[in-house]
Structure formats: C-alpha cells, structure tokens
A = this chain, B = another copy of it.
C-alpha cells in the first residue's frame, strides 16, 4: 500500500497553508545570474537594481527643428513687429555646433542636435520666416523652450528599475541609452519534468487499448517554456520504484526543480510519494490539497530542491502547475511579481455554482461578449479528466475556500486562459 493510500488524504491542506509550510523550509532561493545581450534580455528578470551612471540626455539638445537663439532677444517681438536675427551657423543632428550664438544671432538647428553655446531656446521652424541669412521671429519665447536639458530624462544615481523586475521593450531602449550592450539577468530555471505510469505512451504514439498517450508532460513542458524556464524532459518511466528513484535523484542533481506527474493519486500503483519520502529529509511536506481539481497535488523538498507532485488528470495537472509550481518558479527567479498569463475580465455568471466549503475550486468558464458586458458560462463537463473543457473554455473562475456558492447573474472576475475573439 502506498503512502497516500495509507493516509488517504484524510487531512487536506489549504493551498495557502501548503505553500506557507513549503516556503518555511527556506530552501527556495534566487538562482544564479547570466549576462545576455540587451535585445534578448526582454522578458528576463533583472539581476540587480538599475541605477544610472550617466545623465540623459548627456547634453542639452533641441526638441524641434528650428532656430536656436537667446530667449531675451525675442522679448519685444510681435506679429506686427517681428525681430530679425542673423543666421550664423547650421547644426544638423549628429554634428557638433562650432559657432556660439551671440546677441541678435540664431543658429538653424535640427531636432536632437546639441545646443550651441549662448543659445537658451529654440523657435520652431513653422513659427519663423527666413530670408537669406536672416530669420524673423514673431513672438517672445521663454528660456529653455523647445530644449531638452542635460539630465532631464534621467540623472546620475536615479534608480530606474529594481532587481527582480521583468525587462520590457522600453527597458531595453533605456539600457541602450545608458550604453549597455549586455545586462545581467537571472539564468533560466532548469526544471525537470518526469511522467510516471505503466499506462503512458510517448506523444506521437497511436492511442492503444489500455494505454494512454502522455498529455501532461508535453503540456507542462510548454508551460515552462512560456514562463521563461529551461525545461528538461525526463520522459516517461513505468511504475518501478528503482527506476523512479534513479530518475528523481538524477533530476535533482542537475536541475533547480522537479515536476513529477502521474502516480500521485490514491491509486494502487502510487509509488511516487514513497520514492520521494525515501530519498531524505524532509521529503514530502504537503500532499493532498484543498483544491478542486488538483486534490492529489503535493509538495516535497529533496536535496534542498523543490519538487511538485502533479495530479494525473490533465486539467488538474495544468491548474496545479499554475497555482503551485509557478509561484516557486518565480521565487527561483528572485521575482515576487508573478507574470500574468491572461487578462482578467469582469463577467456575469450564467448559472449558479456550488462549491464545497474549505476547498478552492477552479471552474472552467466560457466568457462571451454579450452586451452589456461579458457573460461567464461554467463548462458543464467538470471532470478533471475532460481535457477538452480546457480547450473549449477560455477562462478560469476561482471560488475561494470561504465561498460555497455564487448565484446566477452575480458579477465575477475571471482570468482568461485564451485571448477573447
């Protein structure tokens, strides 16, 4: 008899209690850093605070195409009585101004070009009239108008991004501006995925009577790819204590985390929990969670590394991945900010939902855009084995432990698991 058969999940831990207990062992730490080119740093996690070491822009420059001049020269200009300035130079972007701007002088300047000495404002070309080497200005301009000052964008010592931030395209631009060509990020977590079960066939196999093609391993490997991990596929092994033990040991030597699926229910061949408990302390720290689907999910710590036991049913495995495994992955990345995988929409429930107390339930729903607003229709096939319900639904509605039912037409918040059409 397996461990779980003995205990029979008599005590279900709430998700929060299980996670708290798991993290209390203090073994999940941020992993190492790697240096990557800035362009490919997008989506990665910043390894240290980004503090600027230069001013941006690094020099005063024009914000427009026009004439750089001394603002005080324009004080008395008007539509009827424009002031005329002598054009003493032309500064294109990418060049260096050579001639300073003296009283009643101006320099033709391009957007982005550096401020010539003496000038303290730029009049837009549209607001001037040029005639040979003279330019007429029709309105007074205030000092520093249409100029971007040195350090106006960022100053030396500014904290721009905090350690643990996910790098976005705009940050890549900023890194370039700050003269970085590469940046330190957290290395991709190496997460091993193992399926256990005599009944499992490798993907691409024909469905065979009595056997079943492994659904969870490919789905979980692809989830890991999506979450910026480096998944290691340990394949499928049969229900053999020795082989599972060997695979688990191997996985924990070379990887940051292990996800092991199948054989974690109260089935007669349920050897995974026994293997995990035989390999050292503390072994399994939670098994049997107050969630639906996902009750057979579990958490273990071996070799000071996190192990998540995924339920065998595909829908339960996917929900356990996102609710239990993802927060651990984000700790490995040193990021408390768990990336969202879909928008949240507010919708009205099309029919009443009942949920047992003390259980967090994940209800698959179909969100439809029905004026006014969205409707959320619970998908009828609620069996954890009904994979098509995950493909046909487009959102997950979470019913917390303390809610026993949600009435028809009540407003709910639903996280999309597929973009709305």
User: Is A92 at the interface (CB under 8 A from chain B)?
Assistant: yes
Does any Cβ of B come within 8 Å of A21's Cβ? Answer: no
Asked if residues A153 and B385 are in contact (CB atoms below 8 Å), the reply is yes
Indicate if the CB atoms of B266 and A169 lie closer than 8 Å: no
Specify which chain B residues have a CB less than 8 angstroms from the CB of A199 in the assembled complex. 93-95, 112-113
- Confirm or deny: A210 has a beta carbon within 8 angstroms of a beta carbon on chain B: yes
Q: In the complex the two chains form, is B209's CB within 8 Å of A38's CB?
A: no
CB–CB B385/A169 < 8 A: no
Give the residues in chain B near A24, CB-CB below 8 Å: none
Instruction: Write the nearest CB–CB distance from A247 to chain B, whole angstroms.
Output: 18
Contact A172 B219 (CB under 8 A): yes
Q: Is A212 part of the binding interface, using a Cβ–Cβ cutoff of 8 Å?
A: yes
Report the separation of the CA atoms of residues A201 and B350 in the bound assembly, to the nearest whole angstrom.
Answer: 58
Shortest CB-to-CB span from A253 to chain B, Å, is 23
| Residues 99-123 of chain A, each 1 if its beta carbon lies under 8 Å from chain B, else 0 | 0000000001011111000000000
A130 within 8 A of partner (CB): no
Q: Is B42 touching A391 in the complex (CB atoms < 8 A)? A: no
Using an 8 Å CB-CB cutoff, how does the interface string of A134-146 with B read, 1 for contact, 0 for none?
Answer: 0000000000000
Say if the beta carbon of A16 comes within 8 Å of chain B: no
Q: Are B168 and A63 in contact (CB under 8 A)?
A: no
Chain A residue total in the interface (Cβ 8 A):
113
Residues of B near A179 (CB, < 8 A) are 203-207, 213
Question: Once the chains bind, are A340 and B337 in contact (CB under 8 Å)?
Answer: no
CB of A88 closer than 8 Å to a CB of B = no
* Most chain B C-beta atoms within 10 Å of own C-beta, residue among A63, A96, A152, A174: A174
- With A39-B218, A225-B39, A312-B112 known as contacts, the answer to whether A198 contacts B93 (CB < 8 A) is yes
Interfacial residues of chain A within 184-230, with CB under 8 A of chain B in the complex:
197-200, 203-207, 209-223, 225-226
Chain B nearest Cβ from A152, distance in angstroms: 7
A220 to B323, CA, bound (A): 33
> A161 to chain B: which residues have CB within 8 Å?
391
The interface-forming segment of A52-60, A75-83, A277-285, A404-412 is: A52-60
A234 beta carbon closer than 8 Å to chain B: no
Residue of B nearest to A181 (CB): B204
| This chain's copy number in the assembly | 2
Question: A19-59: which have CB < 8 Å to B?
Answer: 38-43, 54, 56-59
Contacting A180 at CB < 8 Å: which of B59, B198, B203, B226?
Answer: B203
CB distance from A177 to the nearest CB of B (A): 5
What sequence of 0s and 1s flags, for each residue 341-353 of chain A, a beta carbon within 8 Å of any chain B beta carbon? 0111000000000
From B38, B210, B388, A160 is in contact (CB under 8 Å) with B388
Q: Is the interface of A mostly helix, strand, loop or mixed?
A: loop
Write the nearest CB–CB distance from A30 to chain B, whole angstroms. 17
Interface-side segment among A297-305, A365-373, A413-421? A413-421
A318 (CB) vs chain B CBs: closest residue: B170
Which residue of B59, B210, B318, B418 is within 8 Å of A96 (Cβ)?
A: B210
- With CB as the reference atom, state the residue of chain B lying closest to A346: B346
Determine the distance from Cα of A225 to Cα of B113 in the docked complex, in whole angstroms: 31
Which chain B residues lie closer than 8 Å to A43 at the CB level? Answer: 225-226
The verdict on A252 contacting chain B, using a C-beta distance below 8 Å, is no
The answer on a CB contact under 8 Å between B419 and A94 is no
Indicate if A386 sits at the interface (CB-CB under 8 A): yes
- On whether A38 and B383 interact (CB within 8 A), knowing A176-B213, A198-B95, the answer reads no
Q: Give the chain B neighbours of A92 by CB distance below 8 A.
A: 198, 268-269
In the complex, A256 has a CB within 8 A of chain B: no
Q: A93-B267, A206-B179, A312-B111 are in contact. Are A387 and B222 (CB under 8 A)?
A: no
A149 CB, min distance to chain B CBs, angstroms: 11
